[in-house]
Structure 1
Amino acid sequence: MTNRLRLSLAQMNSTNRHAGNIEWMQDAIAQAAQEGADMLALPEASGLCNKDRADALTQVVDHADDPFIKACQEAAAKHGIWIQTGSTPVKGPDGADGARFLNHGDMINAQGEIVAGYDKIHLFDIFLDGKPATGESRRYGPGAKAVMAPTPWGDAGMAICYDLRFPQLFRDYAQAGASMLFIPSAFTIPTGRAHWEVLLRARAIENGAFVVASAQAGHHDDGRKTYGHSMVVNPWGEVLADMGPETVGITTVDLDMDEVVAARRQIPSLQNGRDYAFDAKAAKPHAAE
């Protein structure tokens, strides 16, 4: 295992067409290569950001045919850099018109090979006061498997956006040995302001792991607005990078993987957890006599 990871964190304003996002990614990885990066991390919906269902159906294809994923593989091999693709929509298992998509992310090695792929498990169905319901499950099907990607810097737990709110997923990754947690996102502005940083820092602290959270930012072609603030958080909960609300581009940071070992040695909560029984009846307050 290599102890130092030079990571380029991307913040995008993805378009509703693959071509523009491919061009942006190619420029970003070229810049990352100039900065000596070992890996480029992209946000959720990096390949296609399009909530117009009818229009998206004309573009979304099977994973094996997806133009953005293929372009990422080619760029990784060209520059000798790993890419965590964030995510992009691909057709679900049946591939039929009208079927729900999968929100899919890949880890690609420096030879352009896909070493792990992940489908977003938890779908963003929420009901903010004064806002329309998000209804992600109308457009996407859920993934069913947690996936760890092997890398030279340690295993990486893969997640996407709303997964952030389900801490057991990340606990399972950490207990299985993950030293990095990738959480590419396209957070809304209201939920981002309220919860983004505190949840990212909590996942890092709870698990003694680096959290890498590339994000979308700004006003998009399809009408959505995203929060930005792509972040890297170290295992002690310190924010190493925060790209702010509007910046589009990359920032490069150095991760010392020995910090994972140090954090887990000092606060060994992964070992200190205990099994316990939960008595639901006893947990309820007694009725007044």
Structure 2
Amino acid sequence: MQTLTVATAQYGLQDVQSDAAFWSRLGKKLREAADRGAKLIIFPEYVTAHLLSYQQVMTHEEACSHLDTYTNAYITFFQRYSRELNVIILGGTHICREEQGFVNKAILFFPDGRMEEQNKLHLTPEERNRWSLVEGDKLNIIETQWGRWAILTCYDIEFPELARLAAESGVELVLCPSYTDTAFGYHRVRYCCQARAIENQFFVVLSGMVGSLPEDRPQVDQGYCQAGLFTPCDTPFSEAGIIRAGELNQDMFVIAELDFAKLHENRKQGVVAPFYDRRRLYKRELRKIRIEEC
């Protein structure tokens, strides 16, 4: 397959009063995106943390335990909608318990029931120190009929080595579910998404939360985002490397088509070729520095 219609969410935080209301709203959003032709639908990081909005204020440890109780419901819900709507869904991320502790996990759901998981690999200081989450240690390279994909969650996109590892593993599409609550955090993630697309000559799709809750919660209370679909800044794409971006901080889907034939054209005939032209001297120099430090 050469083209893929993607709907990436600017997911609006708003007052919901029950579990049923939360899942119903998500279902309506999924149907909206599918009705508009999307074959891949992407939700943001910590999407299920919205379930905390109508609970009593919790500590981070209590919040992790509470969210973990929804793990089966989370999986069942997205499996059902992926199958019924015949779409691939990145169900944002969800905090759940594994043997080593609580993790921030993204799951990609396929219509045939397949699930591909990716634990966040780089935790922010808040996630390490306040949430006490445990980082992942493996990058999952996901095979699809559109080629290979990877999931780099929010802070993960800020590490060029990880994106290069994905690119050298054949990845042509990176999904970046994010949660940023300030313009500072958003622009760090946004600019890194675009940088990674340029460096590696692949697509990056960003999703995030927007809006605010009527009452503050110490885990998730407000979001700042302008979601988008990004490309190299080179022919045959636009000068800015943006296929489409949303309206800042509006509850909406950003929907556009990814054309993988154009990506292959860029890699073969672009004015520059940073994916191919990176020199190996960086690794050599790093080895020298390590030896000298020892």
- TM-score range (shorter-chain normalised) is 0.7 to 0.9
Give the structure 2 partner of residue 108 of structure 1. 109
| Correspondence 1:209 to 2:202 | yes
Give the structure 2 partner of residue 200 of structure 1. 193
Match of 1:235 among 228, 232, 237: 232
| Correspondence 1:8 to 2:7 | yes
Percent identical across equivalent pairs? 21
Relative distance call for 1:89 and 1:14 in structure 2 (3 A) is farther
Code of the residue aligned with 2:274 in structure 1: it is S
Code of the residue aligned with 2:135 in structure 1: it is P
Aligned length: 267
Match of 1:226 among 223, 226, 239: 223
The alpha-carbon deviation at position 135 of structure 1 amounts to 4.5
Alpha-carbon distance in 2 for matches of 1:76, 1:194: 31
Q: Tell me, which stretches of 5 or more residues in structure 2 are unaligned? A: 53-57, 234-239
Code of the residue aligned with 1:57 in structure 2: it is S
Code of the residue aligned with 1:218 in structure 2: it is G
Relative distance call for 1:280 and 1:111 in structure 2 (3 A) is closer
Q: Is the 8 A contact 2:2 2:261 kept in 1?
A: yes
Code of the residue aligned with 2:279 in structure 1: it is R
Which region of structure 1 is more displaced relative to structure 2, 266-275 or 2-11?
A: 266-275
Give the structure 2 partner of residue 151 of structure 1. 144
RMSD: 2.6
| Structure showing the higher helix proportion among its residues | 2
Alpha-carbon distance in 2 for matches of 1:159, 1:194: 16
Match of 1:60 among 60, 68, 75: 68
Give the structure 1 partner of residue 173 of structure 2. 180
| Correspondence 1:70 to 2:76 | yes
Q: Is the 8 A contact 1:233 1:240 kept in 2?
A: yes
Give the structure 1 partner of residue 41 of structure 2. 40
Q: Tell me, which stretches of 5 or more residues in structure 1 are unaligned? A: 95-99, 126-133, 284-289
DSSP 3-state at the match of 1:5? strand
Match of 1:247 among 230, 246, 250: 250
Q: How does 1:90-101 map to 2 (within 5 A)?
A: 90-93=96-99, 100-101=101-102
DSSP 3-state at the match of 1:86? strand
Q: Is the 8 A contact 1:8 1:39 kept in 2?
A: yes
> Which portions of structure 1, spanning 4 or more consecutive aligned residues, are displaced by more than 6 angstroms?
none
Code of the residue aligned with 2:97 in structure 1: it is K
Alpha-carbon distance in 1 for matches of 2:174, 2:19: 26
Give the structure 2 partner of residue 128 of structure 1. none
Deviations 1:28-70 (A, max 9, x none): 11111211211111110112245742244233148xx431222
Output the TM-score relative to the length of structure 1: 0.83
Code of the residue aligned with 1:273 in structure 2: it is R
Alpha-carbon distance in 2 for matches of 1:149, 1:135: 26
Alpha-carbon distance in 2 for matches of 1:5, 1:151: 11
